[in-house]
A and B are shown apart, each in its own frame.
Chain A
Amino acid sequence: DGGITQSPKYLFRKEGQNVTLSCEQNLNHDAMYWYRQDPGQGLRLIYYSQIVNDFQKGDIAEGYSVSREKKESFPLTVTSAQKNPTAFYLCASSIGKGFTETQYFGPGTRLLVL
Chain B
Amino acid sequence: AQKITQTQPGMFVQEKEAVTLDCTYDTSDQSYGLFWYKQPSSGEMIFLIYQGSYDEQNATEGRYSLNFQKARKSANLVISASQLGDSAMYFCAMRGAGGTSYGKLTFGQGTILTVHP
A interface list, Cβ under 8 A from B = 30-31, 33, 40-45, 48, 50, 58-59, 88, 90, 92, 94, 97-108, 110
Do B45 and A105 touch (CB < 8 A)? Answer: yes
Provide the residues of chain B in CB contact with A58, threshold 8 Å: 104
**A103-B91 Cα distance, complex, nearest whole Å:** 13
Q: Are B102 and A110 in contact (CB under 8 A)?
A: no
Query: Is A101 touching B100 in the complex (CB atoms < 8 A)?
Result: no
B115 to chain A, nearest CB (A): 20
Interface residues on B, range: 20 to 34
CB neighbours of B47 from chain A (8 A): 102-105
How many A-B pairs have beta carbons closer than 8 Å: the answer is 76
Q: Which of B27-68 contact A (CB under 8 A)?
A: 29, 31-33, 35, 37, 42-47, 50, 52-53
Are A103 and B44 closer than 8 Å at their CB atoms? no
**Given known contacts A42-B91, A88-B43, A90-B45, A98 and B97 CB-to-CB distance under 8 angstroms:** yes
Q: For window 64-117 of chain B, which residues contact chain A by CB distance below 8 Å? A: 91, 95-97, 100-105, 107-110
> Which are the 7 A-B pairs with shortest beta-carbon distances?
A42-B107, A105-B45, A97-B101, A45-B104, A31-B102, A99-B97, A99-B33
A50 touches B100 (CB 8 A): yes
Q: Closest B-chain residue to A110, C-beta based?
A: B43
Listed in ascending order, the chain B residues whose CB lies under 8 Å from chain A are 4, 29, 31-33, 35, 37, 42-47, 50, 52-53, 91, 95-97, 100-105, 107-110
**B104 proximity list for chain A (CB < 8 A):** 33, 45, 48, 58-59
Q: Contact between B101 and A101 (Cβ–Cβ < 8 Å)?
A: yes
What are 20 A-B contacts defined by CB distance under 8 Å? A41-B110, A42-B107, A42-B109, A45-B104, A45-B105, A50-B100, A90-B45, A98-B97, A99-B32, A99-B53, A100-B33, A100-B52, A101-B103, A102-B33, A102-B47, A103-B47, A104-B47, A107-B43, A107-B44, A108-B45
Kindly state the separation between the CA atoms of A45 and B99 in the bound complex, as whole angstroms.
Answer: 15
Contact B29 A99 (CB under 8 A): yes
12 extra interchain contacts, Cβ-Cβ under 8 A, other than A99-B52, A102-B47, A107-B42?
A: A41-B110, A42-B108, A43-B45, A43-B91, A44-B107, A48-B104, A88-B43, A99-B32, A99-B53, A103-B105, A105-B45, A106-B44
